[in-house]
């Protein structure tokens, strides 16, 4: 038998075989229970949706609160602001009188136990005194001021009195301030109270939301509020009597911003 074929016949045969192969592929892909389903993106199920929502909620929910802690301490240091003010017929005489009075004040403080390092000159001023309606000065005024740190409150009253008496009628006292020199333990207690306060507030918010309170994410410590200085005295004290000093109490306050997971 002649098995030769023309090119046209061979093309038809190849096309037929390809068609049969394609039909077989479609049949296998579309068969019922035993066949594999066509590959296509599957819609997420309910479980995966809930998981994604829960993860987003637990990953981003935050409760931010401010906590404050306040403690009370007794001042143990007094800072005295005082000076002298005099008049003279000339700039030189006024300055010399002010120097002499300031030296007496300093010597009196030193004699009462105040260290030289705790006495600091804080101001010097000289000005002309003009009579009413005149442009020619009739004299000059001079003032010198100093700041003394008194570390023993039990002796501070006597030290102030001695300084005032040494300066005489030239003495001026502009004020005093009472300070807490060692506040480290007080600040530690105030910080602990601030943390407790922040945690209590965050727990209240979490309870109101019906959620458990998570761990602390961050804490920001704000600068502690400085105690307000207490000013007293205006001028000279009674001769021979120690100035009464009542230290009272001062409050230290610490505020923090705390972020909790929820």
The pLDDT tens digits of the residues spanning 213-246 come to 999 999 999 876 665 444 444 333 434 578 889 8
Residue 4's pLDDT band, with cuts at 50, 70 and 90, is very low
- Tell which wins on pLDDT, 232 or 149: 149
The pLDDT of residue 101 is 97
The pLDDT of residue 239 is 43
* 36 backbone dihedrals φ, ψ, rounded to 5°: -85, 140
Phi-psi region of 233 (alpha: psi -120 to 50; beta: other; left: phi over 0): left
Six token digits for residue 106: 């300093």
Q: How far apart are CA 108 and CA 161, in angstroms?
A: 9
Report the pLDDT averaged over residues 21-35.
38
63-73+183-230+247-261 CATH pick, 3.10.620.30, 3.30.110.170, 2.40.100.20, 3.30.300.30: 3.30.110.170
Which CATH fold topology does 79-179 show?
Alpha-Beta Plaits (3.30.70)
Domain ranges of the chain: 63-73+183-230+247-261, 79-179
Let me know: does 171 contact 235? Beta carbons within 8 Å.
yes
Q: What's the residue count for the chain?
A: 262
% of residues, the chain, pLDDT over 90: 61
% of residues, the chain, pLDDT over 70: 71
Tell whether pTM > 0.75. Answer: no
The pLDDT of residue 151 is 95
Report the pLDDT averaged over residues 22-44.
41
With a cut of 80, say whether residue 142 has pLDDT above it.
yes
Strands (E), the chain: 62-73, 77-88, 119-129, 139-150, 171-179, 216-221, 250-261
Closest C-alpha to 180, from 72, 81, 82 = 72
Mean pLDDT lowest for which of 47-61, 88-102, 108-122? 47-61
Average pLDDT, the chain: 79
The pLDDT of residue 226 is 65
Query: For the chain, what is the total number of helices (H) and then of strands (E)?
Result: 5, 7
Residue 23's pLDDT band, with cuts at 50, 70 and 90, is very low
Report the pLDDT averaged over residues 53-66.
66
């Amino acid at each position: 038998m002649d098995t030769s074929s023309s090119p046209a016949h061979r093309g038809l045969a190849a096309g037929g075989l390809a068609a049969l192969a394609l039909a077989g592929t479609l049949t296998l892909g579309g068969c019922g229970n035993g066949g594999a389903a066509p590959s296509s993106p599957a819609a997420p199920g309910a479980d995966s949706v809930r998981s994604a929502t829960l993860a987003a909620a637990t990953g981003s929910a935050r409760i931010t609160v401010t906590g404050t802690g306040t403690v009370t301490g007794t001042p143990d240091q007094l800072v005295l602001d005082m000076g002298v003010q005099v008049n003279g017929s000339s700039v030189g005489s006024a300055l010399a009188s002010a120097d002499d009075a300031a030296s007496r004040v300093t010597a009196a403080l030193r004699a009462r136990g105040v260290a030289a390092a705790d006495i600091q000159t804080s101001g010097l001023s000289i000005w002309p005194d003009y009579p009413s309606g005149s442009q020619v000065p009739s004299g000059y005024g001079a003032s010198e001021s100093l700041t003394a740190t008194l570390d023993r409150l039990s002796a501070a009253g006597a030290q102030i009195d001695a300084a005032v008496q040494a300066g005489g009628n030239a003495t001026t006292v502009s004020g005093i301030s009472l300070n807490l020199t060692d506040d480290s333990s007080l600040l530690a207690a105030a910080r602990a109270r601030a943390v407790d306060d922040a945690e209590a507030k965050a727990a209240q918010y979490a309870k109101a939301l019906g959620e458990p309170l998570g761990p602390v994410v961050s804490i920001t410590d704000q600068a502690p509020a400085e105690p307000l200085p207490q000013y007293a005295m205006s001028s000279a004290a009674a001769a021979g009597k120690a100035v009464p000093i009542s230290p009272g109490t001062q409050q230290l306050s610490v505020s923090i911003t705390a972020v909790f997971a929820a």
